[in-house]
Structure formats: structure tokens, C-alpha cells
Amino acid sequence: MTTVLEKFEKLKTEHAPGQEVRQKTPAFEELLIGEKLEGRTVDFSHGDVDAFLPTPGAFEEFSDGVHSGGKQAYTVYRGLADLREILSVRLTSFTGAPVNAADNLIITPGTQGALFLSVAATVAAGDKVAIVQPDYFANRKLVEFFEAEMLPVQLDYLGTDKAAGLDLNQLEAAFRDGARVFVFSNPNNPTGAVYSTEEIDAIAALADRYGAMVIVDQLYSRLLYEGTEYQHLRAVGGTGRDNVITIMGPSKTESLSGYRLGVAFGPSSVIERMERLQAIVSLRAAGYNQAVLQTWFSEPDGWMSERIKLHQAIRDDLLTRFRARADVAVRTPQAGSYMFAKLPRLRVSPIDFVKILRHQATVIVTPGSEFSPHTASSIRLNFSQNHAAATGAVERLVTLIERYREARP
Amino acid sequence: MTTVLEKFEKLKTEHAPGQEVRQKTPAFEELLIGEKLEGRTVDFSHGDVDAFLPTPGAFEEFSDGVHSGGKQAYTVYRGLADLREILSVRLTSFTGAPVNAADNLIITPGTQGALFLSVAATVAAGDKVAIVQPDYFANRKLVEFFEAEMLPVQLDYLGTDKAAGLDLNQLEAAFRDGARVFVFSNPNNPTGAVYSTEEIDAIAALADRYGAMVIVDQLYSRLLYEGTEYQHLRAVGGTGRDNVITIMGPSKTESLSGYRLGVAFGPSSVIERMERLQAIVSLRAAGYNQAVLQTWFSEPDGWMSERIKLHQAIRDDLLTRFRARADVAVRTPQAGSYMFAKLPRLRVSPIDFVKILRHQATVIVTPGSEFSPHTASSIRLNFSQNHAAATGAVERLVTLIERYREARP
């Protein structure tokens, strides 16, 4: 039997986004080269909700929620019924396959809550779960927490721009080896890669063939850049799939992270189990907060396209700055606001470089080791930031890469 | 290995408070006797936040939180540092033993979140856990979810009013049999019994002797009625205990349930594990909501004593109405707003009677089977309600007890 201490050893969070302030500062002064670089602090570990403001009307909906009192404070565990009705129509339209409000949808405390519940509702100790590398770090941690076995599937995100780069043979091998759950994010976190229609069709076909459940985290699927096509897995075949759980939420693109709202939609049997678990995990997404979902998929005309345009402009400026150095490899994000840059060999470890960045350049990034054991030399940036501050920060970052770069042989 | 389906079978929520609307309505028309009773609907499954309003200033703190932006939206997983500083001072003062803000305290999505994380951080599959019967239903469900073994300890809450009535011999036997975690609520949910100083001292001594961790849910420990003394377990011995995790929150007494806020405080090693888990369960209590904790333990002068007085008056009126019938047994709640009434033998099953109550009397209560296998003939009422509506509802309830009572032999 695994003890509690063993179980939690794998859940360390000190390098997780936003947790940097809780790091014990080691004596790393001796690693430092040169002086600090002046510039406005940029925390690329998450989006800046002061640069990209929450959806207009969100606070007013919350306020109305508070004033409607008990009805809004105490919803059923899966979330207010009226609201699920509204969302089911919008999500049906967005994804292209039907969502039934009564049975197929649960409102959760953030997409993190939805991810936790959906993994818990489908994975038991000893099960095998296919996980993409690199992908959102919580996927791996959830599998480990539930004492399941992870079967990694590589994503060659730097090798192509026509697809996300999933190794479909490896995915099939994982299913053949007994994996009955596959968890992945699309758009991919941390790279911003979007799975091609062919890849999504292939995932659907493999899941059908092997009787597997697929949990797809589509958190960023609304923020698509010019020229990007997006295929919803749940809509492959047209009538909705009973082996797909889709996770979304208004935390990122809509800057509503401070309200902690997410949804999962999928087969009623899984949603039912998720609700039972939510009852003992957190009861429900905060009742008043749920009201904010009224604004979701109902933003003012032009608001989303403007938000996409502004993010695309930042993306392009950062890419230009990274690519000015031939030894930094970065894929063009097709969606979302994550960028994943592979650094050259440095004189210090990647983890120390991340600390040095914070100390000498007031730039906070998330180390690539969080996303896969094979991406330790990469860093993730959430570029949903003030445009000028972000470009300034990446200029300092590139300066420090040069400063700490290992001498060429 | 336990499968996912087996694991969730035990987590059924259809009789849980607030979930009644999701019950599939069976054909129970044939069970009905007599006509419906007119009267205002009262939902005793939870407190009425329209009758007892949230703490003054709560919404304003939330609003300030939203306007302070990213700092409030993205806190570290354990909650905003400044706020933990403020709360640690207040909780030290309230409980009588030191709480260190940096290491000993975590802010969670409701006390339910705190309970889930603290059980998860101390209990692994196969472990033995001592649980009081009757007690809050989630305690049992959490132990079952983590595939631990439950060792029940009986509470003879009807047999005494000098103490809560815990069977200390049974608790010691549980520890002797290998339980290393003990979970209980004080004041007890569902009975409103408060553990005596002697009982709390004895629990502390037993936990020390057997090296056990105690999780104590003190959700209602601020709402104490006249003449009630309350001993905080964590303060036994005076200097703070490293084997006690205390759970509290402003959901109930303060009517802030719609914001989903709770805290756990205890040994740094356990709080650290809870934070790691919170990172993959829900990230954090909703950032903006955390700001509402500014109002906690800082209510306007006289506000709390007035709230206690009003609840005590409702309590006394309901007790009088129940006790007008010699065959209903109910203990006087010493704290909180739960009342647990043991009904006489009826012509219908207790679960059916609860449905009949809803149907014929528009009165919603929680069945006693949720709290212990031995209390199926009891019902729990949260009497934090409009005073007149609550007394009217209990009058209808008593009428229906009479109507459905089995003929005396």
C-alpha cells in the first residue's frame, strides 16, 4: 500500500505557476553573472487580468446573484438548473454536438475542478492512463494521486505545424497495453499547438476501437488565431459521443479566473459520478459566482475578436524576439496565450535559470520540467500581458539567455 | 482493486441536503394519507440566507477584491498571504493557541474543501479511521472514497446533557485496533451537542497516547447558546497541538455560504500536503471571494450576539413543539442551528416520510440515515430560518407524524 507521505511526494508545487513566492531561497548568489536588468516585472506564470480585463458585465451578474439570495447561494451540487439550461444551448452551438442540461453538464470550481472530478470519476488505483508529453502538469499529478499508471504519448510539437504532432502509434500502443482513459488538452498547454482534424478523427477512432474514455481539456478553444481550424472531439461523427468528457471554463480567454468557474460535459453516467464526488470535495462552485456564467458565450459584439487580435499581436512580437536567436526553438501558438520556448544549453540548470530570471530580470516563467520530463530546458510564458511590458520582459529574457549561454565548443 | 464504479456507489447524494430536487419521483401516491397541509415552504436542509442575511460588508469586501485585480484573482494556492496574516491573529485569539500564518493555515473552497483536503492528506487506502455516529455524512463518505476502513464510535447524544456523549472506550478501542486518524465535528452535526471539556481532554490524551491525528470540524463553534462552554481541542495543554487539524469557515453562522470559504489550520506538514492537493483539485478558493474573509471575526458590535439570540428563540419554539409529543426525542442543541429529532414508528419508511413531508407539508428535512446507520428514524432540521415559517413548518411536521404514526398496540 502507498502511504500518504509517498503519495504527496509526487505532488510538489513549488515550481507551479504562482507558487514561486513560496520557494525557500537557496544560496544561489554564486551562480549570478552580471548586474540586474531594469524593467517592469512581468509574471508570465499566468495571464494578467489587469491588462486584459474580465468580461464586461461579469461583476454585475455576480452582484445580481448575491441579491437573488438563497436560490443562488445553495444550488444543487452540479450547479444552478436555469444556468445549465442556458449553457447547454450555448455549448451545443459552440461544439457542434448536443449537450443536455439535466444530465450531461456540471458546473465546477474552475476547469481545475472539472479535471480533478473527471479523472477521479474514471480512474481507479492500478488503472492505466494515457497522457501526452508535454501537457498540462496537473494531468500527470492527478494520475499519480489516484495511484494509476501513466502511459506517456509524445507530442512532436516542434516537428510540424500542420498538426499538433501526436504520436498516434504510441497512443494506440497505450490503448493496446490496457489504457482505458486518455487525457489531453487541445489547444495543447504549454505549446499552443492545435490538433488537426485528422488527429482528432484518429483519436476518436482509436477510443472507439479500444473502448476508451477521453477527457479533453478545451480551456483555450475560443482563442483561435488567424488560419486555425478547430475540430471538437465530441462532435466527431456529428451526433455527440458517449466516450468524451469535454472541459472548458471562462478563466483564461475571458479573464474570469478570480471567480473560479468551469464546466464539464459528457456522458450522464460520468457527470453523475462527478457530482457525487463534488458533494464531498467542495459541494459546488461558489453559488454567487455561478451567476457570472451568464456572460459566457454572450460577450458584447466584437469583444472576442478584438481580444484575439490583441493577443495575436503580442504573440507575433514575442516570437520575433525569440527567433532573433537561432538557438531558441519555439512553435507558433495557434491558439490560447501560452508559448513554449526551448532554450540552448546554459551554464546553470534550467531550474536555476528560472530563479535567476526572476531575480535579475524580474521575469517569472514556468519551468518546462512541469510539463514533461523531456522538456526541462524549455520555459512556458503566458503572454496574456500588457503588450509593452511583455516585449520588454522577453528582451531581458533573451539578454540573459545570451549571458548564461554555455560557450560554444 | 476497487473499480471506479464500486467506489462511487457509496457516494450517492440523492438524499443529501439540497439534492432533493434531483430525486426521481417514484410512484408513492399510494402511500399518502389525507390532504396536503397549507403553509409556507421551509427548506430545513440548509439555513435560509434570505432570513439571516450575510455579514454586513461582505459584498463590499468582495467588490474591493475584484477591483484590486490580479493580486486578488491569483493568490498562492493556500490563499492570499496578507489575509492569512489577519486570520491567523483572529484564530489564535478565538481558539486560544497560536496559528502561524505562513505555515499553519490554508484557505479552502468552503469547509467542505478543508475537510476533503485534510482527510486526503492524512488517510491512505487501507488505513483505519475512527468516525463518530452520528456525525456529518461527508466524514463517512470521505473515508470510503479514499478506500480506508471506518471504525465507528457511538455518540449517546440522547443519554446525557452534561457532555456530547462520546463513547471514549470505543474511541480507545479504535485507536488500539490501529486507527491513526479520528474525524469528528464539534458542535456535533446533526445533533447540536457540544463536547464537554472532559471529553475534549480525554480525546487529546488518547490521541497523544496512540500517536493519532485528529481532524475536528468546528464549523459552528461561534454560535454557542446561553450556558454553553466550549473547549477548543487544539488549545488543550495551552501551547497548541501538532496532532490536531481544525476546520472552520463563515458559511453557516455568518450566512456566507454563497461565497464558499473555509479554512483549515494545524501542523505545517499536513497544511503543506493539503496545499499540494488543492493545486490539482481546485487551485484555490476563488480569489475574489477570499477578500470576504476580511469580515470574519470582525463583524459589527453586537451583530453576533443578536444572531445567537434570534436563533436561540427559534430553537426554543421548535423544541416546545416537538416535545409536545412524548414520542419524539430531541436533544437541546447547545450550539449551531441543527436539531435532530427522533420520530416514533410510522406506517411508512423514514425515507418515504421525508418525501411525504416535502409533498404534503412543503417541508424539506434531511433523513437521519445520512448521519449514521443507527439513526434512520431521525430527521435533521437546520433551523436558521424565518422564525414564523419554521414554527409553522414544525407544526405541520408534527401533524404528519400524528397522521402517519403506527397504531399503538
Q: What is the pLDDT of residues A190-211, one digit of tens each?
A: 999 999 999 999 999 999 999 9
β-strand B149-154 against B128-133: which pairing, if any? parallel
A322 and A352 belong to one structural domain: yes
CA gap B40, A375 in Å, rounded? 62
Domain CATH code at residue A34: 3.90.1150.10
**Residue B51 to chain A, least CA–CA distance (Å):** 9
- Contact A69/B at CB under 8 A: yes
Question: How far is residue A78's CA from residue A188's CA, in Å, rounded to a whole number?
Answer: 27
Range of the domain at B354: 8-53+302-404
pLDDT tens figures, A221-254: 999 999 999 999 999 997 889 999 999 999 989 9
What's the average model confidence in pLDDT over A153-158? 98
CA distance B166 to chain A (A): 25
Cell 458584447 sits on residue: A300
Q: Are B101 and B206 in the same domain?
A: yes
Residues B263 and B354 both lie in one domain: no
For residue B332, being part of any structural domain is answered with: yes
Q: Which of A269, A295, A321 is the last residue of a domain?
A: A295
Interface test with B, best of A282, A292, A366 (most B CBs within 10 A): A282
Q: Which grid cell sits at A54?
A: 474580465
Q: What percent of chain B has pLDDT over 70?
A: 97
Q: What is the pLDDT of residue B3?
A: 84
How many separate domains does chain A show? Answer: 2
Contact residues, A window 6-45, toward B, CB-based 8 Å cutoff: 7-8, 11-13, 16, 18-19, 21-22
For residue A395, what pLDDT band results from cuts at 50, 70 and 90?
very high
Specify whether A35 is located in the same domain as A62. Answer: no
In a domain, B3, yes or no: no
What are the tens digits of pLDDT across the range B285-325?
A: 999 999 999 999 999 999 999 999 999 999 999 999 999 98
* Burial label, B177 (beta-carbon count in 10 A; 0-12, 13-18, 19+): exposed
Please indicate, yes or no, whether residues A150 and A262 belong to a single structural domain of this protein. Answer: yes
Higher pLDDT: B299 or B4? It is B299
Residue A1 lies in a domain: no
Q: Are residues A245 and A318 in the same domain?
A: no
> Considering the domain boundaries, does residue A84 fall inside one?
yes
pLDDT at B12: 81
Residue A10 has a pLDDT of 79
Q: Looking at residue B17, what is its pLDDT?
A: 78
Shared-domain flag, residues B388 and B288: no
* Residues of chain B above pLDDT 90, percent: 89
**Does the residue B209 lie in any domain?**
yes
Rg of chain A over Cα atoms, rounded to whole angstroms, equals 21
Q: Which of A295, A323, A348 is the last residue of a domain?
A: A295
**Residue A28 binned pLDDT confidence (cut-offs 50, 70, 90):** confident
Residue B362 predicted with pLDDT over 70: yes
pLDDT at A298: 97
| Predicted local distance difference test score (pLDDT) of residue A44 | 97
Q: Are residues A164 and A214 in the same domain?
A: yes
pLDDT for B14: 77
For testing the chain B interface, which of A13, A42, A136, A139 should be mutated: the one with the most B CBs within 10 Å?
A: A13
pLDDT at B409 over 60: no
In-domain check, residue A122: yes
A286 touches chain B (CB under 8 A): yes
Contact A170, A153 (CB under 8 A): yes
Residue-averaged pLDDT of chain B = 95
Rounded to the nearest angstrom, the minimum Cα separation between A18 and chain B is 6
Any idea what DSSP says for residue A22?
G
The structure's pTM equals: 0.95
Kindly identify which residue of chain B lies nearest to residue A48, measuring between CA atoms. Answer: B70
**Contact across the interface for B276 and A1, Cβ inside 8 Å:** no
Please indicate, yes or no, if residue A341 is contained in any of the structural domains.
yes
Q: Is B268 on the interface with A (CB under 8 A)?
A: no
> Mapping DSSP to helix (H, G, I), strand (E, B) and coil, where does residue B70 land?
helix
pLDDT reading at B374 higher than 60 = yes
Q: Tell me what the pLDDT averaged over chain A comes to.
A: 95
pLDDT at B29: 85
Task: Please report the pLDDT score of residue B308 as a whole number.
Answer: 97
Q: How far apart are CA A387 and CA A384, in angstroms?
A: 8
Query: B373 in contact with A at a CB cutoff of 8 Å?
Result: no
A255, A55 in Cβ contact below 8 A?
yes
**What does the pLDDT average to over B243-269?**
96
Measure in Å the smallest separation between the Cα of B61 and chain A Cα atoms: 12
A356-394 residue pLDDT tens: 999 999 999 999 999 999 999 999 999 999 999 999 999
Reported confidence tier of residue A409, pLDDT bands at 50, 70, 90: low
Question: Is residue A47 in some structural domain?
Answer: yes
Question: What is the edge-to-edge ordering of all strands in the sheet holding B244-248?
Answer: B105-108, B262-265, B244-248, B213-217, B181-185, B128-133, B149-154
